[in-house]
Amino acid sequence: MDNLTTPLTHIGIIMDGNRRWANKEGLPTLKGHQEGLKTMVSIAEHIFSRGAKYLSVYAFSTENWNRSESEVEYLMDLVPFAFKKYLEKLDEQNIRLLFMGSSTGVKKSIVELCESAEKQTANNSGGTLCVCFNYGGRQEIIEAYNKYAKEVQKENHVLHLDEFSKYLYHPEVPDVDLLIRTSGEKRVSNFMLWRIAYSELYFTDKLWPDFKASDIEQAIKEYNRRQRRYGV
């Protein structure tokens, strides 16, 4: 097991491959999403045990609304299932939950569940799991700018990078150090565009439900080989 020789505070994961995993196993697509949820919780526990402080996962993108009506409906129903099955476990593990994304189009009952989970785990200090739900990186930037424009309302005001960051979803969440994408795809798919500007990227052919603690260790090993230059 590699030590975190290069500072690694925030890991982001694009959890890709649930549907392909289900097809490979001869199972319904919905089963793939259930297994993906199980993997998410397991990987979160491992990452925080390794000393990372933040894990952000891409659970449902703004583009996912374009999937079949039945799949979207199931993904929405998976939210209360996830809370019922895993919330107490995450809370007992001292993990804090945050939700990033737009509430537009999301059922009020789901929004309330997310808000309740944030409140229940607000004082936990064992790591922060940021669930990006109904999330899009471009949408986050547009919403941040609109908040800024509404608040400032000054002519000739020069907008600075550090100033703008405070208008993002949960601005206390730092930039992503290591971005992992599963399933063999090599793109960022509108995920945390502002925060991944200098992220190290790691791609694996593993489908998300097959992703294990040993795969995280391989990603950390590769990360430790990198020299982060930040343009220098």
What residues are annotated to the active site? 16, 64
d(CA 6, CA 16): 26
What 8-state DSSP symbol labels residue 157? Answer: P
Tell me the DSSP string of 42-91. HHHHHHHHTT--EEEEEEEEGGGGGS-HHHHHHHHHHHHHHHHHHHHHHH
- Contact between 226 and 206 under an 8 Å Cβ cutoff? The reply is no
d(CA 85, CA 80): 9
- Contact between 62 and 139 under an 8 Å Cβ cutoff? The reply is yes
d(CA 47, CA 58): 16
d(CA 220, CA 71): 33
Q: Parallel, antiparallel, or unpaired for β 128-135 and 54-61?
A: parallel
- Contact between 148 and 28 under an 8 Å Cβ cutoff? The reply is no
Q: How many CA atoms lie within 13 A of 80 on its CB side?
A: 11
